[in-house]
Structure 1
Amino acid sequence: MKLERVKPFPTEDGALLYYFDVGEGRPIVVLAGAQTSVQTYRYVVKKLKNKYRVIGLERRFEGETKARLEELTMQKQGKDLDEFIQFMQLDHPILIGHSLGASVIMSYLDQFGDQDITGAIFVDQTPKMLNDATWNEGFAGRSVASLTNHTKRLTTPVRRIPKLKVLWLLLNTMIIRQVSLFSVKEKLPLFEDYVKGDWRESLQKMKKPALFVGVEHSPHWPGEFAATCADLVGNGTSCMMKKVGHGAHLEDPNQFARIVEDWVNQLDK
């Protein structure tokens, strides 16, 4: 199987991240979740690239990206995203993040605000994963340690077996060609920082449109969490992907692409 051809992106601190860049039109940047290559968006990209310029950034410590094993923080991941937007000279892109990739966007917003983007789509990710007296839309009764173990065991858990072509994509991206150069154990500090994050304040400051996508069969939290998250943003909305689990863009690329297109179309009205 052909994967999207990638190009190198050198960061200010000497890391080398990779990205693909296909299609023309309004720029959309996609980010994958924990233990997952951005190449897993391939079938979504095939649907979107006829209308948009779709750019997939392989996050630091995933895929074939090269970096020193330091600064394993969500803050650094958000800074990488800002550097990438500037490096590519993107004019107010739309950001799409799945799972940990969505938290990277929240970290970016916390550090740099939303003035350089058009809006953002967050897929099956709450801004606060640990519940407490002020928040009940994360994991119930879990500690940082147990959640970290949960994160490192899972890649893109699905409810139903994807089509054969998607399974072959996963085999290519997760095992044969895009396996991370870094072990799960080496990345544990990043997962711990991810689990401890609380990005509610950055969302409350957001003025640009935001869409929170819940999934009907998430293994993490009820899909209705998306409506609560949308209420944090002045211009926030939510929707539910039907008949899919956490690996939503893999289980149903067509439904995922339609949700993106419908939301982007609304921005122009």
Structure 2
Amino acid sequence: MPWITTNDGVRLHYYDEGEGRPVLLVSGYGAPADDWALQWAPLRAAGYRVISLDRRWHGRSDRPAWGQRMSRHGKDIDELLTALGLRDVLAVGQSMGANSIWAYVSLAGTARLAGIVTVDQTPSMVNTADWPFGFYGLTEENLGTFFSSPGAFATGRGRAWPDPAAVDTAIREAGGRGAESLITPDTRPLLLDHSRQDWRDVVARAEVPVLITAGADSQFWPAEHAAATAALNPRATSAVFADAGHSCHLDRPEAVADRIVEFAGTLGGPSRRTGPR
């Protein structure tokens, strides 16, 4: 199993299979790298090298008492790409994984990237007068206490969540280890930091093509966030997955894989410097 060790002594696990332009897949809050298992085979079959990262406190990676902030998760992505010598990378993130990519871009820019895809993640979680596309019910007034409520994620919006047992079985059949979740009190500081960030200025300055996608029936925020986010950058476009909630890649796995492959095909040929194997 491949690992890297970060500059603060944390071992991060990742999967790395296939040949061609690297596609980095970053999972959401609590989800392991295996959460992307339903996209692995289609992406490899389309001619891409597929790299899936277990962020710190996720999957098989170490679970340290430090680094529970988005900036550190961005730094971890930077260290992974640097350690593997990767360039021309298509970075794909779902939920908090998407904002981890924006944290990376804020830190390191887009020199190593060919493009970015986000899957149902608003760049600003807080609803304000100029941004009504945040997490349902989250405002500047209740920001400090909102996620302390055990029912915060039960918004009563969107479609029913996919059956955990069925998802676990599908992931295992696709070659993953299952749909283990690591949402624990230990990671609450990370969730709070995530909820406070506003990445709109980073989106606006991204110097590579960007695709912002949303689930039409997301449980967390209006699907209109995708078009509103894409409007921030002339290089950005948006798409909405019908019949999908927040976990678009699980609700509509083939459609998400197809959209990633389609977008990757618009990026031009990869450099030969895609990193050592």
Shift of the 212–73 alpha-carbon distance from structure 1 to 2, 3 Å rule, reads same
Q: Which residue of structure 1 lines up, in the alignment, with residue 210 of structure 2?
A: 210
Q: CA deviation at 1:201?
A: 0.9
Instruction: Give the paired residue count.
Output: 257
Describe the superposition over 1:84-140 as per-residue Cα deviations: whole angstroms up to 9, x where unpaired: 000011122010000000010111111111122111001101110001123221134
Gaps of 5+ in 1: 1-5
Paired amino acid for 1:159: A
Structure 1 residue 152 displacement after superposition: 7.9
Distance 1:125-1:109 versus aligned 2 partners, 3 A rule: same
Aligned to 2:88: 92
Equivalent position SS for 1:186? helix
Quick one: distance in 2 between partners of 1:246 and 1:150?
A: 19
Gaps of 5+ in 2: 270-277
Alpha-carbon spacing, 1:45–1:65, altered in 2? closer, same or farther (3 Å): same
Aligned to 1:159: 160
- In structure 2, the residue matched to 1:30 is 25
Within a 5 Å distance, the mapping from 1:118-133 to structure 2 comes to 118-133=114-129
Instruction: Give 3-state SS (helix, strand or coil) of 2:185's partner.
Output: coil
Give the aligned residue type for 1:8: W
Q: Is the 8 A contact 1:158 1:251 kept in 2?
A: no
Q: Secondary structure at the match of 1:75?
A: helix
User: Is 2:146–2:152's contact at 8 Å kept on the other side of the alignment?
Assistant: no
In the superposition, the TM-score normalised over structure 2's length comes to: 0.85
Percent identity, aligned pairs only?
29
**In structure 2, C-alpha distance between the alignment counterparts of 1:149 and 1:174, rounded to whole Å:** 24
Asked if the contact 1:162/1:251 (under 8 Å) is kept, the reply is: no
Please say if residues 37 and 171 of structure 2, whose CA atoms lie closer than 8 Å, have aligned partners that are also in contact. Answer: no
Q: Which residue of 2 aligns with 1:232?
A: 232
* Residue of structure 1 in register with 2:272 after alignment: none
Please list, as runs of the form range in 1=range in 2, the aligned pairs for 1:63-78 lying within 5 A after superposition: 63-78=59-74
Q: RMSD of aligned C-alpha atoms?
A: 2.4
**TM-score, L = length of structure 1:** 0.88
2:179 maps to which residue? 174
Residues 163, 188 of structure 1: CA spacing in aligned structure 2 closer, same or farther, 3 A cutoff?
Answer: closer
Distance 1:174 1:94 in 2: 24
**Matched letter for residue 83 of structure 1:** E
Alpha-carbon offset, residue 14 of structure 1: 0.9
Q: Secondary structure at the match of 2:50?
A: strand
- Residue 264 of structure 2 is matched in structure 1 by 264
Residues 121-130 or 66-75, more deviating: 66-75
Q: CA deviation at 1:169?
A: 4.3
User: What CA distance in whole angstroms lies between the structure 1 residues aligned with 2:149 and 2:119?
Assistant: 21
Amino acid aligned to 1:139 = F
